[in-house]
Structure 1
Amino acid sequence: MYQPSQLDVRRFFCATWRQGQAGQALDPMQALAWPWVQAHPEYHAELSDEARALSLSYAVEAGQTNPFLHLSMHLTISEQLAIDQPHGIRQAVELLAKRRGSMHEAHHGAMEALGEMIWQSQRSGLPPDGQAYLERVRTMATKD
């Protein structure tokens, strides 16, 4: 299984931005990432300066959003939807998109649930609970 480093991920998104802006061919993963990169103009300056992007650190305590983590989560959710894993996530996110008015906003809701699942797993030392994640997204999609 391929496990890219933090720097690999940053290089990937910077290259996707650079190639997409230049109208160059994108590989399949870049093609999946490109719409999400375009949807976040607030990250374009950081993506434009790869050397700076490789050197930055994002402190949650300082209220900083990590654009590379955010874009990676969009990719993760896109891949989950493509294979419907965990089973039922596609339907739950589609319902959430109807409720929130866009797939982009549904992704942000799913990111919140995904982040909660990862945090719980790290805190407890147990494997990630895909069913809890799915149920959280379903709840967002169906309850006020």
Structure 2
Amino acid sequence: MRALMIVVLLLLPALAFAAEERYPFDDPAKRVLFVELTEELRCPKCQNQNIADSNAMVAEDLKRKVYQLVQEGQSKSEVVDYMKLRYGDFVYYQPPLNLITLSLWLLPLAFVLLAVVVLVKKRKRSKETNAHDLLAEAEEWLEKDK
């Protein structure tokens, strides 16, 4: 039993290496680019998981397409542009700064500022009301004392 366990433990790294060799590269720079791209591209089906870690069918398709484009000699920006054109900005973890992404950052801030303004005005109004009520009450007491 112990010998079997040792054999399995010794074979585990080989299995990991075999799984990685599904996409063979002649040029080490292309391999690095492929790994970088698959870690930076998001799976359209999975929730916040890159295509390198996803086992979804669409992620496998994306990996094959990235492999094909890298093998054709396309640059990182060309591959990213192709994927964004096909799947939208969601597929890339670093979305561009445009009106939509800017609104995603600024709308929550605007709501917080609006809430602060409303609370300040409400508090100011309640202080004025309290001061007016106190003044009216003091005048009532003065009238009673006469």
Structure 2-normalised TM-score?
0.27
Higher relative contact order (CA 8 A, sep 6+): 1
TM-score if structure 1 supplies the norm length?
A: 0.28
